[in-house]
Amino acid sequence: MRGHAANRPRGALRHYAGLLGPNAAAVAPAMLERDVGARLTRLRSAGAQRARQRLRPSRPRMRALQAAPGGKLRFRDVPAPPPPGPDGAIVHPIAIATCDIDCPMAMGMLQMPLPLHLGHECVAEVVAVGERVQGARPGDRVVVPYEVSCGACPPCRAGLTASCASVPPVSAFGMGLATGHWGGACSDLLRVPYADAMLVPLPEGIDPAAAASVADNLCDAYRHLAPHLPAMLQRDRDAEVLILAAQRRNMPFGASLPLYCGLIAKALGARNVCLVDARARVREHAQRLGIEAIEPRALRRRPRAPLVVDTSVMHLGRALAATAPDGVCTSSGSLHRAARVPIAAAYVRKATLHMGRTSARPLMPVVLDLMRSGALAPELVISTQAPLDQAPRVLGEHFREGSIKAVLTA
Ligand SMILES: [Zn+2]
Ligand SMILES: [Zn+2]
C-alpha cells in the first residue's frame, strides 16, 4: 500500500445511524415508489424460506460472502438457492469482479443496509435450467447482468431493462435488502430468474476474468460514450472527452468505471481523452493505459470539453461547469439527496445532462463484440486477481487500500 490514509470502515452504530440520515430518507421513497407490495412480498417470502430452512433444512448448503458492519467480510454457510423455476437458471460464478460501489457499500458508508451478500458482476457456468429455457444449457459460460429483468415487459422491450416492470424497482444482485435480496455473486451458486432474457453467452476465446465487469461497470462506461461520441468526432476530429473521477484523495469508490470510460473512448476513436482524479495511483494506472491524467486543481486551466463523463459521485456541478457550449455532461450519478448545479451557466451554454442507472443487458453483447474485435482490453484495468477462496482477506485489503479493480476466480 502506498500514499494516503486508507479507507476506514464504519462500525455498526455509524452505519445504522447513516441509514436514518437525510440521504437515505431521499433515496428510500424513490426505491419504493412503485410496487411496494411486490417488494414486501419478496422480502417476506425470503424471510419465510430462511426460517423454514433453519427449522427443516431441505436444500444443500453453500458458501456466500457476507459483508457486515465494521468492514467484516466472511463466508457464511447458507442454503443453496431453490430450484430455478421454469424460466430460471442456477449458475456457478467462475469470475466475479468488484463494482466501484462495492467498497463504500461493504464499508457501511452507503444507504444499503448491512449485512449483505456481496457481488453483482460475474461470468458464470450454467448448472441447471428450467424447462422453458432455450438459450442456455448446463455447462455454458455466460455473463450475468447485475440487474434483474424479464425481457418481456414494455420497459424491457424498449431496452430499459433497469426499469423492468416485472420485478420491484432497482432489483439487482449483490446489494442485499436495498435491491431485493436476489443473492450475491461471491458465492458457489446464484439463481437467475429469467435465464433467456438475462444471460449472455461468453464468446469463445474471451477470458472470464476480463469479461466479468461486462455485467455492470463496462456497460456503464459504454453508455456514457457510444451515444454521444461519434457525432462529436464527426464535428471535430480532436474533440476532447473529459472524465471526472475522484475529486478528493480519500474517495472510497473503486476506479474501474473512469478507466473503462477512457479505454472505451479510445476504442471508439477519441484522440483526446483526459482523466481528472485526485488519487495518484489512479492517474498512474491511467497513464500506463495511454490516457492523459491530471489532478483536480489542473482542471481550472483547461478549456471546457464537449463531452464530460462524471464519475465523481459528489461533483456533478463541477462536471457541468467543465462542459463546453452545446456539449454533453453524462453522469454515473450518486445517492446524495441533492447537488449544487450551475443552472444558469448550463442553460446559457445549452449543455445536455444525462444521468441515472445503467440498463446493462442490451449493451452487453455490444461491449463483448468490442472486446472480441480487440479494440477493448478491459483486463488492463484489473489491479488484483485471486481465488474466490481468499475473498475475505483479498477484498478486505482491496477495500482498505482503495485499489482499482479486483477479480475473484473459482
Ligand atoms: Zn455496480
Ligand atoms: Zn421486464
Residues 225, 159 share a domain: no
Average pLDDT over residues 332-336: 89
Residue 368 inside a domain? The answer is no
Gap from CA of 17 to ligand 2 centroid (Å): 34
Q: Separation of 217 CA from ligand 1 center, angstroms?
A: 6
Q: How many angstroms does the Cα of residue 237 sit away from the middle of ligand 2? A: 39
> How many angstroms separate the alpha carbon of residue 257 from the centre of ligand 1?
10
Same domain, 147 and 269: no
- Judge whether 370 lies within some domain: no
**What integer pLDDT is reported at residue 230 of this predicted model?**
97
Mean pLDDT over 313-323 rounds to 95
Ligand nearest to the Cα of 179, by number: 1
Grid cell 477484498 — which residue?
Answer: 395
Same domain, 102 and 64: yes
Using a pLDDT cut of 70, give the percent of the chain over it. Answer: 99
Shared domain check, 173 and 287: no
Give me ligand 2 centre to Cα 154, in Å: 7
Quote the cell numbers at residue 382.
Answer: 484489473
What's the CATH number where 235 sits? 3.40.50.720
How do residues 192-214 score in pLDDT, each as one tens digit?
A: 999 999 999 999 999 999 999 99
Residues 147, 57, single domain; the answer is yes
Report d(CA 165, CA 148) in Å as an integer: 10
CA of 195 from ligand 2 middle (Å) equals: 12
Beta strands in 159-248 (DSSP E): 190-192, 200-201, 240-244
Whole-number Cα distances in Å, 299 to 87, 278, 291, 311: 50, 11, 15, 15
Same structural domain, 164 and 311: no
Do 187 and 231 lie in a common domain?
no
**Would you say residue 130 lies in a domain?**
yes
Could you tell me the distance, in angstroms and rounded to a whole number, from the CA of residue 298 to the centre of ligand 1? 29
Q: Inform me whether the pLDDT recorded for 42 exceeds 90.
A: no
Q: 18 and 142 share a domain?
A: yes
Structural domain includes residue 315: yes
What's this model's pTM, rounded to 2 decimal places?
A: 0.95
Residue 399 and residue 7 in contact, taking contact as beta carbons nearer than 8 Å:
yes
Q: Do residues 134 and 184 both lie within one domain?
A: yes
**Contact criterion met (CB below 8 Å) for 366 and 222:** yes
**How many separate domains does the chain show?**
2
**Using an 8 Å Cβ cutoff, are 64 and 167 in contact?**
no
Between 336 and 206, name the one with better pLDDT.
206
The reply to whether 66 and 130 lie within a common domain is yes
Q: Are 239 and 232 in contact (CB under 8 A)?
A: yes
For residues 288 and 381, state if they share a domain.
Answer: no
Cell of 264: 472505451
Q: Which of 129-138, 168-177, 368-377 has the lowest mean pLDDT?
A: 168-177
What residues are neighbours of ligand 1 (ion), with CB under 5 Å? Answer: 99, 101, 216
Ligand index nearest the alpha carbon of residue 163 = 2
Q: Is the peptide bond before 115 cis (omega within 30 degrees of 0)?
A: yes
CATH, residue 19: 3.90.180.10
Q: Contact 107/118 with Cβ under 8 angstroms?
A: no
Q: Name the band, by pLDDT with cuts 50, 70 and 90, for residue 1.
A: very low
Rounded-to-integer distance, Cα 83 and Cα 57, Å: 14
Mean pLDDT confidence for 163-174: 94
Domain around 97: 12-213+377-409
Report yes or no on 154 lying in a domain. yes
Question: What's the start-to-end Cα distance of the chain, in Å?
Answer: 26
Residue 88, by phi and psi: left (phi above 0), alpha (psi -120 to 50) or beta? beta
Give the distance (Å) from ligand 2 centre to CA of residue 124.
22
Identify whether 360 is part of a domain: no
Q: Quote the mean pLDDT of the chain.
A: 94
From the CA of 121, which ligand is nearest?
A: 1
Q: Which ligand lies nearest the alpha carbon of 161? A: 2
Residue 327 has pLDDT above 50, yes or no: yes
Q: Quick one: average pLDDT of 248-268? A: 96
For residue 43, tell me if it sits in a domain: yes
Note the ligand closest to the C-alpha atom of 167. Answer: 2
Distances (CA, A) of 349 to 281, 321, 408: 34, 10, 45
Mark whether 136 and 259 lie in a shared domain.
Answer: no
Mean pLDDT across the stretch 180-197? 96
